[in-house]
Structure 1
């Protein structure tokens, strides 16, 4: 049986996965995660002092055998259905931070979308909205 984490941590873990997929977490990605946790209504009531511990716990899980698979199962099993699209949106936000979508990020987004069972139409709308938000002049 897959372990459960709280919904706040599940949202954080999905962001950490995307930020870490290329082997390094940039300051911009870390800053974005922090700002999202501080400002989004989904994190209302979350103690932001727990953010570093949550990110470290996710990182430790990712380094275990089949770590990514387990993390994605935990995220999916821990998020209420109404937050699955939110989880995918946050994954897309992190992928957009560095203004380029590498193949490994695209593949991870596909795994997140499938794991959270976000339908293609919803996923396309989220992707388009994130693309518009991060477009540069």
Structure 2
């Protein structure tokens, strides 16, 4: 299978890919998570000029990568190559929001969040603050 994305990934594609990855990490994409992704893409300034139709293509790319043995490494490679460093904390915040959207964190989601923190080089204190904010926003 061709591992190249047909079009280069935009920074926004990377953010979508991270949100889809965290949602798919427990092999059960919940409605609350999909709504969170859609709301982020529709409302956040970083997505102002983003073509919403790309969400489906980026989602399929993530699913295809997850079927491969080194798929997660390939995904992080794409993100490292296409996500500007200034958006690393944004990416982590979006991942935390999607993970928290359904009110529970699966072990697989926690592991992937840890990998995202590592791959995006998120400072531990900043990560704790981002996680705390996500928890506060999603408490019922």
TM-score of the superposed pair, with normalisation by structure 2 = 0.91
1:80 maps to 84
How far off is 1:49 after superposition?
Answer: 1.8
Task: Give the distance between the partners of 2:67 and 2:113, measured in 1 at CA.
Answer: 19
1:69 maps to 73
| 1:37-116 aligned within 5 A | 37-116=41-120
> Unpaired runs of 5+ in structure 2?
none
Deviates more, 1:62-71 or 1:114-123: 62-71
Question: What is the CA deviation profile of residues 76-111 of structure 1, one whole-angstrom value per residue up to 9, with x for unaligned ones?
Answer: 221111100000001101110111112111111000
TM-score of the superposed pair, with normalisation by structure 1 = 0.92
> Unpaired runs of 5+ in structure 1?
none
| 1:14-25 aligned within 5 A | 14-25=18-29
Say what the alpha-carbon RMSD is for the aligned residues. Answer: 1.4
Q: Which runs of 4+ in 1 moved over 3 A?
A: none
Aligned residues: 135
